[in-house]
Structure 1
Amino acid sequence: MTGPSDREPVLQLIEAVLDGGSWRTWDEPVPVTTRDPGYRADLERARERTGLDESVITGEGRIRGRRVAVVACEFRFLAGSIGVAAGERLVRAVERATAERLPLLAAPASGGTRMQEGTVAFVQMVKVTAAIAGHKAAGLPYLVYLRHPTTGGVLASWGSLGHLTAAEPGALIGFLGPRVHQALYGEEFPPGVQTAENLLAHGLVDAVLPARELPAVVADALDVLCDDTAGAAGTVPPPQSGPEAAGPAAGADGGPGTPAAPSPAGVPDGGAAPVSGGTTPPASPAGREPRRDPAAADGAPAPAVTEGPAGAGPGVPATAVSATADSIRRSRRPGRPGVRALLKAAGRQVTPLSGTGAGEHDPGLLLAIARIGGTPCVVLGHDRHDGASPPLGPGGLREARRGMRIAAELGLPLLTVVDTAGAALSREAEEGGLAAEIARSLADLVTLPAPTLCLLLGQGAGGGALALLPADRVLAAEHAWLSPLPPEGASAILHRTTERADEVAAQQGVRSADLLAHGIVDRVVAEPGPPGPGPGSGSGSGPDAVTDAADDSGRFLAHLGEVLGRELALLRAERPEARLAARRLRHRTLGVRPLPPH
């Protein structure tokens, strides 16, 4: 599919939208530190091609005299993809806009998550969503201008949360990029669906308009949305002299700007090196099992940024590839227990709920209220049928958000269970607002007042998995995994073949041990569980050994139920203020917390 001819460089867009000479960059330089020679070469070529040091630029300017914060993507820089450094840059800009009470204009053009950095880059979408949610909660306007093309995790997070959303004429806008769909399903996505004009026809954007019309539209909207005159013409401090007063070219080579907070040692691009430093996180509540994360969460508001998964790149050990492939294979076994089996084994007084309450029901989602380990809770999760989970569509996410509302209104803990090969990929899903519902689910979870616990039970592919991930605590079954795409899709993007899926998954750090090391999960639950007396009770190594949840689901579910019961009880006993503060810190430090040496 073709979109607008000759993609406009992002700095030209800035010139077209902002008042002349008003642009001031907020970006700090980003060094290249990855140990992966192929990724390093990609980054250096992107820098040479664009004159930028990352795929996003941030700063401020004026529109008709009003101060406005701006975050935007440069698609020519690795397809505008978001890695750890880009995610951190976005969050710092949003936080600064919030602190300075500025309206925020976002102009994404991106293919989504940066596949070279894998899962730790994928969860940046949670971090950015949390920052946007905080900006909106402060009563500040957030406007979005979707440019050609905007797909994947960017559309399914900060690209779909605007108070007002416009799109570039002819832009390709959709959840799954056309190339990945072709690689996974051997056919092209239906034409004419993932277009700005079709989104407008289905009520998913508010307007389709060229960039030259943005200044007038944004100015009129902000005159209504901003309830005071702060930032309007006549109230803005005069531009400073020096680098901050520079025009659109300032900072294009990573030059100085005004940082949101003192920068520690620069912000590295994604790759494979650990981060040193960090402060000790708040003490765990009494009785809480210590985190199995070997490093403390970084308490600084803007810490140095980690790179991608440890060991990423051509040198990933063969043992890691084998272990990752083994977990993915085991997670897909037909006999692996799902959320229904979990509720049957560990739940008491289970009351199933059905649908959104507004005429929609999705077989891909289970929603219920129950007691687990004596603690009352709301349970929602991807629902396996005959060994497979039907792909979750936008209706299923609206059903999930019904469960979130019940938990919030009654103060009940919420348990989300992730076990999906991916979200629905169809005309109906795109036109029904799948990406926007993923974004709203993320925003609801990061702000939910009720205690939240997530269990990665099996497969965790793409936005359908991410939509249920954010929580106060995240547990993972031993052979569960989390990835920006099914490994076959990630392989198609990076290598234009699905044959390297195992290698790519290992590089991306998708398995539970990797997630634990990166602070994405807090505890890994062994499969099939602690050994018991009698033959066949150990994991062993023989041909008849019990090795995963499918081999002895009864033992696994009994142990898992005990673990979940304890976790829910502890979360419910925490002071809400402390729990919510810890959650904010958790999301803020995704990808930037210290990692163990390796």
Structure 2
Amino acid sequence: MVPKASAEGPATALGPLDDGPLRWDGYGAARARATESTGERESVVCGTAAIGGTRAVVISFEFRYLGGSLGSRTGDRLEAAYTRARELRLPVVSLIATGGSRMQEGMLALTQLQRIAGQSTLNRAAGLPQLAVLRDPTTGGGWATLGAGADVVLALPGAQVGFAGSRVRPADADPSAYTAEGQLATGHIDAVVPPERLRGTLARWLRLLTTPDEEPAPVPAAQGAGDPPDSGWSAVQRTRAPERPRADAYLDTYFDWREDISGDRCGGVDDGVRCGFGHRAGRTVAYAAQCGTATRPAGFRTAARLVRLADRLGIPVLTLVDTPGAANDAAAERSGAGAAIADLFAAMAAARTPLTSLLIGEGGSGGALALAAPGRLWATPDSYFSVIAPELATAILKRPPSEVPHTADQLHLRPQDLMSLGLIRGIVPAN
């Protein structure tokens, strides 16, 4: 089991009938009843366990103990758990069911959130992954620290999830927004997992996130046309063909199995971007892949989140570039398209873990370049990369539409053109 308090934060001694620092009438008796009914002396139980062969520090909430609320002694146990994880170099798995901070301890209970955040930050800096499982309910400070602050967030179906609990939210609030499914739809959790699949899913995630590797990800083989295009316009037409292989085909072939992350943690999900971690021949490779659609701000932010997590855990990254460009509608602008693209450029530039990029289709301007590893980009024969789409370039130059093919040639966007310009390392052959 995890020891009690570490030297970094002294334990708070409370006797079984002690009404606590606020002398809240009946608090000690309530704790005594909770202990009698649950067999526990606090709302969390912490220890080490093997999940699918991977050791982890496990934090499990007992909701029947005062609603799984967070008090000062809860903070003692959580701090000790995080400290033990750093000592043993283990990931932390939190099985959360809580109503929030314990009001009978007032602000002393609330400040445990700062304590938890501080410990989480130390583990993050140590390169140790954190996973959370949201049970019913996960609300208040438990959601805003252990839950939402984890690297990968899973939830049980139908779980109540939200900062506001059911008794304190507005009466006219949409109840679906406070569910696991609602949080998934708005990009705040990664997956909803049925109970019977939870152990296996956790085992896969722990295996993926605890396998650092200093070697770059291998470049995937091309899956489409084998010969480079004979003109710029034919290159563009080839990439836009409905039958051309897309990201899912590449990922399914490349990995033995994989787990996706979902959402930008800012309220958005882009179904045109796949991000996650995959198992390949005993190795873990992180991936961020565009699926051929215009990339939305949520997609750029999710990719940046993936790159930063992989970099912190020392896991190589593979990116697949395939987009006509960044989404440019009004909704995209309101969602911060420019800032999202800038953030992904920054994440790619700052990454210390090896990055490998393959252009598998359209490379449309900065929306595509943001996902391309500087100096480590390859291309398939059925791809192109251009500063601007040839149709838009033709319009800007005030040329008639009939000049689009000629403009495409002038842009030197074919794979062989990119090679001659020194913009890619090579054209990968098909299997």
Shorter-chain TM-score: what band? 0.3 to 0.5
Higher percent of residues as strand: 2
> When the two structures are superposed, what TM-score results if normalisation uses the length of structure 2?
0.45
TM-score, normalising length from structure 1? 0.33
Name the structure, 1 or 2, with higher relative contact order (CA <8 Å, separation 6+): 1
